Structure 1
Amino acid sequence: MRKSMMRITLRQLQVFRAVCESRSYSRAAEEMALTQPAVSLQIRQLEELIGQPLFEYLGKKLYLTAAAEALQRASTDIFGRLDSLDMQLSDLQGSLQGQLNLAVESSAKYITPHLFAAFKRKHPEVSLELVVVNHAQAVKRLSISRDDLLIMSQVPTDMDLEFLPFLDNPIVAVAPVDHPLCTAPELKLQDLTRYPLLIREPGSGTRKAAEDYLRQKRAHFAQTVQVASLDALRESVAAGLGLALIPRHAVHLELAHGLLHELPVLELPLYRSWCVVHPRGKRLSPVAQAFFAFIREERAQISALAARFDGAPAGRPAAG
C-alpha cells in the first residue's frame, strides 16, 4: 500500500461522503457545519493523497470520477466496519447498541416506524436512520450497498440479493366518497377505465405493479394524471381528480374515517409482498442482523401490527 494512503483521515472521508451524497460543495459544507473553503481544502488534500481527481464539473453539475466511485465504495466499507465494531463492543457490555440505517420504498413508510418501534422495545438502545425512496432509487441504493437493509416489494431478479418476504402489500382501488362508482355492489377493472386514473411518478414500485397488472387484465385507461408522491396522490383522489390504485396501508386512516372509499373491484386487491433485502454476502452489522432476525421470527407480532393498517371493508379480504 502506498504510504500516502495511510495519511487519509476519517474526517476527510466524512467530508468526501457528504459531497458524494449532496453533489455540492456548499450543501456538504452546510451538512458538516464547515465553510465551503474548508470542504474544498479537505477534498483537495484527499485528491493529493489519492493521486487522482475525485470530482469534475460538466456544466453546473458535479460528477464523481472513477477514482471517487472506488473511494466511495471503500469508505462505505470502512465506516460500516467501524459501526459494526462499535455495536460488537456494546454487545460485549451486555446490550445491543448502535444505529440501523434503513431505506424503505415510499408506500412502506407508514408501517415501518411501527415495525421499528416493536423492535426497539426489545433493544431500547438502538436508533434508526430512515430514508424514504421510490423503487428505482431503492434499486440504485442496493447496487452500491448504501444501507444496512432495505424494505421493498418487487425485488430485482437480476441482482444477487438476500431477501425475506414478511408482509402482504395489498394494492386497492380508491375513489372520492361522492364518486358514482361508490354505490356499486361490485365492479370489474373495466368499469373503472371510463374515469381518469391518478398514477405515481416513473420509478415508483406501486406504479409499475399497477401498470403491469392493468396490462395483464387488458384494462386501458384513456386518461391518466401523474402525481409526484403518495401523499399528493391520496389528496388528489380526495379532491375528486380521479381514481387511484394505491397500497391500502397508505390510506388506512382515510378509509377508516370515510374520507376515501375502497371500490369493490373483483380483481383486487393486487397483492405484493414487502421484503427486507440486502446484497448477498454483505457483512451485516449486529443491529442489522438483529432486525433481520426480528422480521424472520416475529411474524405473529408483525401480522397483528399490520392488521391495524389494513382498513379492509367488511366482507373484503384483509392482508395476510
Structure 2
Amino acid sequence: MNYTLNQLQIFLKIVQTQSVTKAAEELHLTQPAVSIQLKNFQDQFDIPLTEVLGRKIYITDFGREIAVAAENIINQVYAINYKTQAFKGQLTGRLKISIVSTGKYIMPYFLTSFMQKHAGIELMMDVANKNMVIESLENNEIDFALVSILPSNLNIEYLELLQNKLYLVGNTAIKTKKNAKPEEIFSDLPLIFREKGSGTRQTMVKFIEGNNLSVLKKMELTSNEAVKQALIAGLGYSIMPLIGIRNELQNNELQIIPVKGLPITTNWSLIWLKGKKHSPVSLSFLEYLKLEKSEIVKKTFSWYENY
C-alpha cells in the first residue's frame, strides 16, 4: 500500500461529513480533486470503503474501521509536530472553537494577534447555527463557543467580548412613515427570518411575540449573507445584527429603520463548559482575551458606537 497523509485526511473528512461535496468545501478543495483522491485511496483496498446509492455516499463497516485508523495516524502526526515545536519552547496544540454564523464578523479579530504570536498553534474554527454550536459544546468536542445568547440548559462559564445590537433593516429605496408605531411598520413589511436554530431568529421572534406584532409575510433564509442580499434586492426586511452590515450601511445599500424597542441588545460571549480542564493552548487564549479584549474592541469596533 502507498497511501498518503493527504488521502487519509480526505477520506476521514468524507466519513465525518458523509459527503464528497461537503468534504471538499471544508478542505477548500475542488470536488473533482477530492473524488480522485478518494478513488486512489480506495483502489489500494480489496474491500470497498464506500458505496454510492443514487446520489448519496455511504461508508461501509470496513470503511469506518479504516477511518478510525486514519484518525489515529493523523493525530500521531500532529503529536510529532507539536512535540517538535514544544522542544523549541513554542506553545503548541489545537485550539477548537465553534461560532454562530454572525460571529465570523467578530471572532477573527480576537484571534489574529494570538495566532501570530504562537505559530505552533493549529486553529480549528467551525461556523454553524446556534443549535449546532451548543451541541458541539455540550458534547465537549470544542474548547470554546461564541454565541450572542447564553444557553439556559448548560452549566457554563463565559467571557463577554462585545455588545450585540440588532436593528430592523431594509434597503434604502423604501420610505417608512415617520413616527410610525411598531405594529404599523410590521403589518406593512414582508419580513425575512433566519432558519430555525439561529440565535438571530430566536431574538427576532421574541421581539415580535413580546410586542404582539402581526407579520404580513414571512420568508426564511439560511445564512446572514443570504438575508443581506435579499434585503439589498428589496425582497423584504429583517431584524439583523449591526456587526454584519457595516459596509452595506456605509455604501448606502441598507438602512436602519427606527422602531420603538430596537435595537435589541445582547452580548457576544465566549463560553465553555464549567469545570472544563483547559489545555495549555485554550488556557493561554483565555488569559490573552482577558488582558487584550478591551484594546481589541477599541481598535477594531470603535465604529460600532456610532449607532
TM-score range for the pair, normalised by the shorter chain length: 0.7 to 0.9
Verify the 8 A CA contact 2:110 2:293 in the aligned structure 1.
no
| Aligned positions of 1:219-298 closer than 5 A | 219-298=213-292
Alignment pair present for 1:160 and 2:151: no
SS in 1 for 2:95: strand
Q: CA deviation at 1:176?
A: 0.9
CA–CA distance in 1 between the matches of 2:154 and 2:232?
Answer: 38
Match of 2:112 in 1: 117
Verify the 8 A CA contact 1:105 1:151 in the aligned structure 2.
yes
CA–CA distance in 2 between the matches of 1:110 and 1:135?
Answer: 15
TM-score norm. by structure 1 comes to 0.72
How many corresponding residue pairs? 291
Q: CA deviation at 1:261?
A: 0.8
TM-score norm. by structure 2 comes to 0.75
Q: CA deviation at 1:164?
A: 2.1
CA–CA distance in 2 between the matches of 1:265 and 1:117?
Answer: 36
What is the aligned-residue RMSD (CA, Å)?
Answer: 3.9
**Aligned in 2, Cα 1:124/1:89: closer, same or farther, shift over 3 Å?**
closer
Verify the 8 A CA contact 2:165 2:241 in the aligned structure 1.
yes
Verify the 8 A CA contact 1:165 1:273 in the aligned structure 2.
yes
**Aligned in 2, Cα 1:11/1:113: closer, same or farther, shift over 3 Å?**
closer
SS in 2 for 1:159: coil
**Aligned in 2, Cα 1:35/1:58: closer, same or farther, shift over 3 Å?**
closer
CA deviation profile, 1:233-268 (whole Å, cap 9, x unmatched): 111111111111000000011112222111222311
| Aligned positions of 1:6-85 closer than 5 A | 17-24=12-19, 34-36=37-39, 38=41, 62=58
Q: CA deviation at 1:215?
A: 0.9
* 5+ residue gaps, structure 1: 1-9, 48-54, 314-320
**Aligned in 2, Cα 1:284/1:217: closer, same or farther, shift over 3 Å?**
same
SS in 2 for 1:157: coil
Match of 1:7 in 2: none
Verify the 8 A CA contact 1:83 1:285 in the aligned structure 2.
no
Verify the 8 A CA contact 1:252 1:311 in the aligned structure 2.
no
CA–CA distance in 1 between the matches of 2:292 and 2:132?
Answer: 28
Percentage identity across paired residues of the two chains: 24
| Aligned positions of 1:180-195 closer than 5 A | 180-181=175-176, 184=178, 186-193=179-186, 194-195=188-189
**Aligned in 2, Cα 1:254/1:24: closer, same or farther, shift over 3 Å?**
closer
CA deviation profile, 1:254-307 (whole Å, cap 9, x unmatched): 112222111222311111211112333444332222222222222311321452
Q: CA deviation at 1:106?
A: 0.6
* 5+ residue gaps, structure 2: 25-31
CA deviation profile, 1:121-161 (whole Å, cap 9, x unmatched): 44355443332111122122223223232211223222233
Q: CA deviation at 1:208?
A: 0.9
SS in 1 for 2:304: coil
CA deviation profile, 1:171-229 (whole Å, cap 9, x unmatched): 11111112112x73x55432321211111111111011110122112222121111221
